[in-house]
Structure 1
Amino acid sequence: MESEDKSDCQMQRVSSPSVIVIGSGFAGIAAARALHDAMFQVIVLESRDRIGGRVHTDYSSGFPVDLGASWLHGVCKENPLAPVIGRLGLPLYRTSGDNSVLYDHDLESYALYDLDGNQVPQELVSKTGETFESILKETDLVRQEFSGDMSIQRAISIVLERRPDLRLEGLAHKVLQWCLCRMEGWFAADADTISVKCWDQEVLLPGGHGFMVRGYLPVINTLAKGLDIRLGHRVTKVVRRYNGVKVTVEDGRTFIADAAVLTVPLGVLKSNCIKFEPRLPKWKEEAINDLGIGIENKIVLLFEKVFWPNVEFLGVVAETSHGCSYFLNLHKATGHSALVYMPAGQLARDIEKLSDEAAANVAFTQLLKLLPNASASPPIQYLVSHWGTDKNSLGSYSYDTVGKSHDLYERLRIPLDNLFFAGEATSIDYPGSVHGAYFTGLMAAEDCRMRVLERYGELDLFQPVMGEEVPVSAPILISRM
């Protein structure tokens, strides 16, 4: 599969079909695992010095901390990742039931504060959550009425113009802005860029949301076992030919195979750092350009001891969603004295311009605002993610932008000859999620298997990639402490 000779060399027919998988995130590893198990020769080319992509479990503080994805969205048998996690016996910590207005957290699990450090009464938080839900339901009427698309923010302001009973003042207004800030965190984007036509097109699986207590790395390591993965191999060019695919990496080496599965993040595709020959068709390029890529980062603050309340999430409410913020309490789920500040959208972009020390300082300053009377000593260590500026990701995950159709995910997924596409941004049902990425990897592997073996006229030789195996079991959920 590898050609040491840099000249254009002919595809060699080998005893079993060969595939190059580009990218070793969940989609790439899922595709590579499935094709390897179906007796294909598989090489995985990965630009980073680690596998996992936007799944990155950091152990530098002595315990696992996910700087990227950290939830399983939908702890149920229907979730394609559930049996894998279940078999490994990895515990999940439930942060939300099925019907949470804030998706991955229930409102009861929050302690919210104003900028003077006064806690917002829980009753007001719950009541405002119900109002927020009513407003979102009303935006449905707005989108039915208007032929064109608009942002979720614009739709909300139309609802509030029409329905004075849903307008909130004072502290309740600030809590509503905080609910909007959490919604922006879910999409990793600002409300004035999120499409009202498509914002709820994602399929939310039942079973609530489970936080991966031991991190996602054990899962991807298990799936990657025994695969031929080449780290530090940044792909710069993909050439499709009638009899195969030729892939060039940064140092000029070339790899050839019957087919390739491309699983690089949407942000990387948008940057045009991979050249395609022949050029991708216009409809494919438009899908890449028109899909939104959001940014959410994590600033993990590790402390000597816990000085905050025993809730899952701490939040600061403010006049605008941009002024609001929230912290995930890792102590509640894992027993470690750490908080995770999670800025999204423009706020995340602004903070990414700072040094790690300055970013940690921003997070700690916000924390002091909400707990002014706590005996808070500065963090003893901090970890900072940079998903927006990291050249291997250039963003966190995809979302629907105003005026663009939801079928862009499907268009991005459609194969071109013997080049297949996978990744969270190719999942029409589960974009932006780990199980979405994993499932698209399996689908691309099956499409690839069928296409390649069809060409060889050997369809009966190999087992299906997505065959049923053991009875499916859902992962263990730890009840809330």
Structure 2
Amino acid sequence: MSKGESRPDAVIIGGGFAGVTAARELTMRGRRTVLVESRDRLGGRTYTKDHDGHPMEFGGTWVHPLQPNVWAEIQRYGLETEPLPVMEGLRQAVVSGGRVVDLSDDDVARAMELLDQFCSPGRTLFPEPYTEAWGPDPQGIGDRSFREQLATVKADPVLYDWLEAMCCAVALGPLDKSAVTEYLRTYALSGWSAEQASAALTATKLVKGTRELIDGIAGQATLADIRLNSHVTRVVQSDGEVRVELADGDTITAPTAVIALPMNVLNSVEFEPRLSDTKRRAADERHAGAGRKSIVKVKGDIGNVSVLAPEAYAVNWVVTYAQGGPEGTWVVAFSSNPDRLPMSAFDDTAGMQEALQPLLPGVEVESIVGWDWSNDPLSLGTWCIYRPGQLAGILPDLRTTEGRLFFAGADSAIGWRSFIDGAIQSGYHTARHIDDYLNNGSR
């Protein structure tokens, strides 16, 4: 290797939460690593950026005490959390029948009962949600999309539209391409409770953003040489080592490597020998997470709102992010199917204003910030939501070691897959396995 003074024990490719956690955990075991990240920052599909006096979360945001790994890290570094949305004074509504219908506390309780019914197959499908074990599935729900499962629901129109909109918010991808098992698994991880699952998904955020957590973990990876703006083009296993080639011509060698890349971009790196057919097929198929998250400043004080809308609408959930009084309000708008969004780019305020009208009639958009994760070549998607059949078809192989290559990431984690929690868990797991591998004399 042309940089650094000593050969590392592992090269870690990817500086999201999985890769950075693996680097810290290997440091704790006395292992030296080189972590290479293509971006100019750490965090992967989490990205905190200061804007208008607020730490804006362009990517992953929510954490919760039900998520044991991320919550332990929050406690470890003494980080502050806060609710989002703020429940006090929250106006909850859903678009149904072409109008905005405000929901009373009783309406919300009925909606949660419907969500419990919708997710109830998770009790038998995922009796032990922290394992890969499946329970009995005589109805074949494991192969269904959200749309197919919604077709089995009988409810009054307002509650049905609320349920469909909730599915859009969870999938952040087209409902006919997103596996309903992803919601059922989250339900199981939340104690088989719709109310708890909703809280785990969207209730608590870090006051200073996810950036503070990734920096805390990286700060303890003292035996890691962290290199930003370092794009990997090729990974070769030969002669008892792994050779990692970078776009700038540098080469790093080590006895092992951690591949901590999103599933959708695995094929952007050349591997020799080639990765398994299943891994390559998974990257070709991609997961279904392709929606858009936009942080939008609207004119005036619109209050503390949370409005849902079913899939036919361009925006499926809008929620107050930061109230600024008469100077304006920041909201977050989620679109599960960007093809329906009449917004060409994040500077298209007219397109976003049109998209928000069904949810917030009369609202005036002043500015928009965000990140286009689906067209970012380093992610090619938002959070991982498997397609029907992928859970059984690709998940076990995504984690399978290939020679001296170990795999980590939120997209293949045990438990809270797709979440920051899952990425951290995966980093723990992979670091332990590499240390065991090296301790057994495989150098």
Bucket of the pairwise TM-score, normalised by the shorter protein = 0.7 to 0.9
Task: Choose 205-214 or 383-392, whichever is displaced more.
Answer: 205-214
- CA separation of 1:323 and 1:57: change in aligned 2, threshold 3 A: closer
Consecutive unaligned residues in structure 1, runs of 5 or more: 5-11, 97-103, 161-165, 458-481
CA contact (8 A) 2:10 2:33 kept: yes
* 1:318-333 to 2 correspondences below 5 Å: 320-322=311-313, 325-331=316-322
Look up the match of 1:392: 378
What SS does the corresponding residue of 2:434 show, helix, strand or coil? helix
Question: What is the rounded CA distance, in whole Å, between the counterparts of 2:324 and 2:207 in structure 1?
Answer: 7
The alignment of Structure 1 onto Structure 2 pairs a total of residues equal to: 416
Look up the match of 1:223: 217
What do residues 112-166 of structure 1 show as CA deviations (whole Å, max 9, x unaligned)? 3558664434244543443344344479899523498332322332x24xxxxx2
1:30 Cα deviation after fit: 0.3
CA contact (8 A) 2:169 2:316 kept: no
Match of 1:168 among 149, 156, 175: 156
Look up the match of 1:341: 333
Match of 2:68 among 79, 83, 98: 79
Look up the match of 2:92: 110
What do residues 366-422 of structure 1 show as CA deviations (whole Å, max 9, x unaligned)? 33443436xx5532x320220100011100122232233436223211111211100
Question: What is the rounded CA distance, in whole Å, between the counterparts of 2:273 and 2:384 in structure 1?
Answer: 26
Question: What is the rounded CA distance, in whole Å, between the counterparts of 1:370 and 1:391 in structure 2?
Answer: 32
Look up the match of 1:475: none
Task: Choose 224-233 or 382-391, whichever is displaced more.
Answer: 224-233
Match of 2:208 among 182, 206, 214: 214
* 1:216-295 to 2 correspondences below 5 Å: 216-225=210-219, 226=222, 227-269=224-266, 272-289=267-284, 292-295=287-290
1:338 Cα deviation after fit: 0.8
What SS does the corresponding residue of 1:383 show, helix, strand or coil? strand
1:15 Cα deviation after fit: 7.5
1:40 Cα deviation after fit: 1.7
What do residues 185-212 of structure 1 show as CA deviations (whole Å, max 9, x unaligned)? 2122222123346652345246743222
CA contact (8 A) 2:9 2:256 kept: yes
Question: What is the rounded CA distance, in whole Å, between the counterparts of 1:94 and 1:378 in structure 2?
Answer: 25
- CA separation of 1:35 and 1:364: change in aligned 2, threshold 3 A: same
Look up the match of 2:163: 179
Query: Counterpart of 1:188 in structure 2: which amino acid?
Result: L
Question: What is the rounded CA distance, in whole Å, between the counterparts of 2:333 and 2:180 in structure 1?
Answer: 27
Look up the match of 2:365: 378
Match of 1:204 among 179, 189, 194: 189
- CA separation of 1:24 and 1:342: change in aligned 2, threshold 3 A: same
1:455 Cα deviation after fit: 1.5
What SS does the corresponding residue of 2:317 show, helix, strand or coil? strand
Question: What is the rounded CA distance, in whole Å, between the counterparts of 1:240 and 1:350 in structure 2?
Answer: 44
What do residues 446-467 of structure 1 show as CA deviations (whole Å, max 9, x unaligned)? 111111221169xxxxxxxxxx
Task: Choose 52-61 or 21-30, whichever is displaced more.
Answer: 52-61
Question: What is the rounded CA distance, in whole Å, between the counterparts of 1:155 and 1:71 in structure 2?
Answer: 26
Look up the match of 1:57: 48
CA contact (8 A) 2:168 2:174 kept: yes
Match of 1:441 among 427, 432, 435: 427
What SS does the corresponding residue of 2:212 show, helix, strand or coil? helix
CA contact (8 A) 1:117 1:371 kept: no
Aligned-residue CA RMSD (Å): 3.5
Q: Structure 1 residue 18 and structure 2 residue 5: aligned?
A: no
- CA separation of 1:40 and 1:342: change in aligned 2, threshold 3 A: same
- CA separation of 1:368 and 1:194: change in aligned 2, threshold 3 A: closer
- CA separation of 1:424 and 1:285: change in aligned 2, threshold 3 A: same
CA contact (8 A) 2:35 2:225 kept: yes
Question: What is the rounded CA distance, in whole Å, between the counterparts of 2:440 and 2:83 in structure 1?
Answer: 45
CA contact (8 A) 1:136 1:156 kept: no
- CA separation of 1:181 and 1:111: change in aligned 2, threshold 3 A: closer
CA contact (8 A) 1:352 1:388 kept: no
Look up the match of 1:8: none
Query: Counterpart of 2:365 in structure 1: which amino acid?
Result: P
Match of 1:363 among 334, 344, 352: 352
* 1:295-310 to 2 correspondences below 5 Å: 295-303=290-298, 305-306=300-301, 308-310=302-304
TM-score (norm 2): 0.82
Query: Counterpart of 1:337 in structure 2: which amino acid?
Result: T
Question: What is the rounded CA distance, in whole Å, between the counterparts of 1:50 and 1:350 in structure 2?
Answer: 31
- CA separation of 1:95 and 1:66: change in aligned 2, threshold 3 A: closer
What SS does the corresponding residue of 1:145 show, helix, strand or coil? coil
Query: Counterpart of 2:189 in structure 1: which amino acid?
Result: L
Question: What is the rounded CA distance, in whole Å, between the counterparts of 1:427 and 1:83 in structure 2?
Answer: 17
- CA separation of 1:176 and 1:438: change in aligned 2, threshold 3 A: same
CA contact (8 A) 1:423 1:437 kept: yes
- CA separation of 1:416 and 1:353: change in aligned 2, threshold 3 A: farther
What SS does the corresponding residue of 2:335 show, helix, strand or coil? coil
Consecutive unaligned residues in structure 2, runs of 5 or more: 126-135
Sequence identity, in percent?
A: 24
What do residues 422-480 of structure 1 show as CA deviations (whole Å, max 9, x unaligned)? 001121322110010111011111111111221169xxxxxxxxxxxxxxxxxxxxxxx
CA contact (8 A) 1:69 1:434 kept: yes
TM-score (norm 1): 0.76
What do residues 292-312 of structure 1 show as CA deviations (whole Å, max 9, x unaligned)? 241232211124642x2324x
Question: What is the rounded CA distance, in whole Å, between the counterparts of 1:69 and 1:333 in structure 2?
Answer: 23
